[in-house]
């Protein structure tokens, strides 16, 4: 298993008006930078949208924590201590080690949206090919 990272930050208003692009059936899905409705659908996006690929879950968690920390002060809701990037890393690592995708999605001050995702490849939710190598997903234990 390996892990792909994806990042989106943009206008919340734009996301609302272009929500249909977040479904694979939409003709612009592959071109749209908007985060898909299901985390595993990131794997259907072109390889050019992959921000990073890691063999180690620890490396993937470090990438996610760095992206999350960069926007953490701008999150529009109260931020309890357990919400801090450092406090979440153990949970994130455990999740990836179990084959569970990660996503941090928040509304930021100023009306922006933020989504950072780490997607397991192969994925336990759907048999999707690797966006980087094109290799078909092997049969996996599905949820």
The average pLDDT across 108-122 equals: 94
Query: Tokens in use for 69?
Result: 């920390």
Kindly state whether residue 140 falls inside one of the protein's structural domains: no
For residue 132, the 8-state DSSP code is T
Q: Whole-prediction pTM value? A: 0.89
Query: Tokens in use for 17?
Result: 């008006």
What are the phi and psi torsion angles at 114 (to 5°)? Answer: -140, 130
Between 60-69, 73-82, 106-115, the lowest mean confidence (pLDDT) is in 73-82
Domain that holds residue 94: 2-121
39-70: pLDDT as tens digits: 999 999 999 999 999 999 999 999 999 999 99
pLDDT at 16: 81
pLDDT at 75: 87
For residue 82, the 8-state DSSP code is G
Kindly state whether residue 31 falls inside one of the protein's structural domains: yes
Q: What percent of the chain has pLDDT over 70?
A: 90
**HSE (CB half, 13 Å, CA atoms) of 58?**
0
Residue 38 has pLDDT above 90, yes or no: yes
């Amino acid at each position: 298993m390996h892990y792909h990272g994806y990042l989106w930050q943009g206008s919340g208003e734009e996301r609302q008006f272009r929500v249909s692009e977040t479904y694979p059936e939409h003709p612009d899905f592959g071109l749209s930078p908007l985060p898909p409705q299901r985390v595993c659908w990131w794997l259907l996006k072109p390889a050019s949208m992959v921000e990073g690929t890691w063999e180690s879950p620890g490396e993937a968690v470090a990438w996610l924590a760095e992206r999350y920390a960069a926007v953490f002060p701008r999150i529009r809701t109260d931020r309890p201590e357990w919400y801090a990037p450092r406090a979440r890393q153990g949970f994130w690592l455990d999740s990836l080690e179990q084959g569970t995708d990660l996503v941090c999605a928040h509304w930021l001050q100023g009306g922006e949206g933020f989504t950072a995702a780490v997607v397991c490849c192969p994925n336990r939710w759907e048999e999707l090919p690797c966006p980087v190598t094109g290799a078909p997903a092997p049969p996996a234990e599905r949820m």
